[in-house]
Amino acid sequence: MGRLFLVVLVAAGIAWYFVAHARASNSEHELAAVASTIAGRPVGIHCQSFGGELVDVTSEPGKVEFDQYGKPGDKASFKRKVCKALQRLPSDVRKPEFDCVDRDVSCPGRVHDDAWAVLVFAHESIHLAGELNESFAQCKGLQNVEFVSRRLGVGSKRSKAIAKYAWKYVYPEAEEAYRTDACFNGGPLDVRPGNPRWP
């Protein structure tokens, strides 16, 4: 009886691993399509695994490697919590607690984390496009939050609200190296000059 239980347990664990791996691969493929549009070239996305999260001691939520000449690699890597937030975003936006983004108030943890994850993803996508400067990437990424949200399945109105929330509540929290006085509507980092839309 004990041996049979062990066999069933191992089989269940193996099945869970392959299902989780398949879901992660599908998610990475979908995210890569979004990042490729922003980067203007085919790029890949790597989401940290559960095992990777357990041994991770780094602080960066996302990363793109640049070579010695300032050329970006073809892949962005993200912490597990970033990818998880991006995966759950389409369902989270339908929950009542997400209405806070429409009311111009600071939102509770999970909602705030979702908006933060979208900005992190957009920021790294801008790095994939070739932008090396962190504050420039953050500003340009901010202006792609609405686009990323929509591509992830969020409606137009809520996507705009997430972008405005990111501008007012997420962007100011970033370290000084990720912020710049040049980030404003009509400024030198405005990716849509002449368009009143912001961010």
87-138 residue pLDDT tens? 999 999 999 999 999 998 999 999 999 999 999 999 999 999 999 999 999 9
Domain membership of residue 187 (yes or no) is no
User: What was the pLDDT predicted at 26?
Assistant: 73
User: What was the pLDDT predicted at 12?
Assistant: 44
How many domains does the chain divide into?
1
Mean predicted confidence (pLDDT) in 165-184: 97
> What six digits make up the tokens of 41?
């070239």
User: What was the pLDDT predicted at 10?
Assistant: 45
**CB-facing half-sphere around the CA of 67: CA atoms within 13 A:** 6
> What six digits make up the tokens of 179?
């912020």
Q: Greater confidence, 98 or 56? A: 98
Domain membership of residue 6 (yes or no) is yes
Strands 72-78 and 62-66: antiparallel
Q: Is the pLDDT of residue 11 over 50?
A: no
Q: Which residues of 160-192 are buried (b: 16+ CB within 10 A; e: fewer)?
A: bbbbbbbbebbbeebeeebbbeebeeeeebbee
Residue 163's alpha-carbon distances to 99, 112, 131, 139, in angstroms, are: 14, 12, 20, 12
Q: What backbone phi and psi angles, to 5 degrees, belong to 75?
A: -145, 145
Domain membership of residue 191 (yes or no) is no
Domain membership of residue 194 (yes or no) is no
Domain membership of residue 99 (yes or no) is yes
Mean predicted confidence (pLDDT) in 8-14: 46
CA dist., res. 107 & res. 128, Å (int)? 30
What's the mean per-residue pLDDT of the chain? 90
Reported confidence tier of residue 19, pLDDT bands at 50, 70, 90? very low
Mean predicted confidence (pLDDT) in 168-173: 97
Instruction: Give the ranges where the chain is alpha helix by DSSP (H).
Output: 2-39, 50-55, 80-92, 109-128, 134-142, 145-151, 156-165
Q: Supply the range of the domain harboring residue 42.
A: 2-178
List, for residues 131-146, the tens digit of each pLDDT value: 999 999 999 999 999 9
Contact 107, 162 (CB under 8 A): no
User: What was the pLDDT predicted at 6?
Assistant: 55
User: What was the pLDDT predicted at 25?
Assistant: 55
Reported confidence tier of residue 16, pLDDT bands at 50, 70, 90? very low
Reported confidence tier of residue 53, pLDDT bands at 50, 70, 90? confident
Domain membership of residue 195 (yes or no) is no
Mean predicted confidence (pLDDT) in 134-163: 98
Domain membership of residue 55 (yes or no) is yes
Q: What backbone phi and psi angles, to 5 degrees, belong to 184?
A: -160, 165
> What six digits make up the tokens of 96?
């009542």
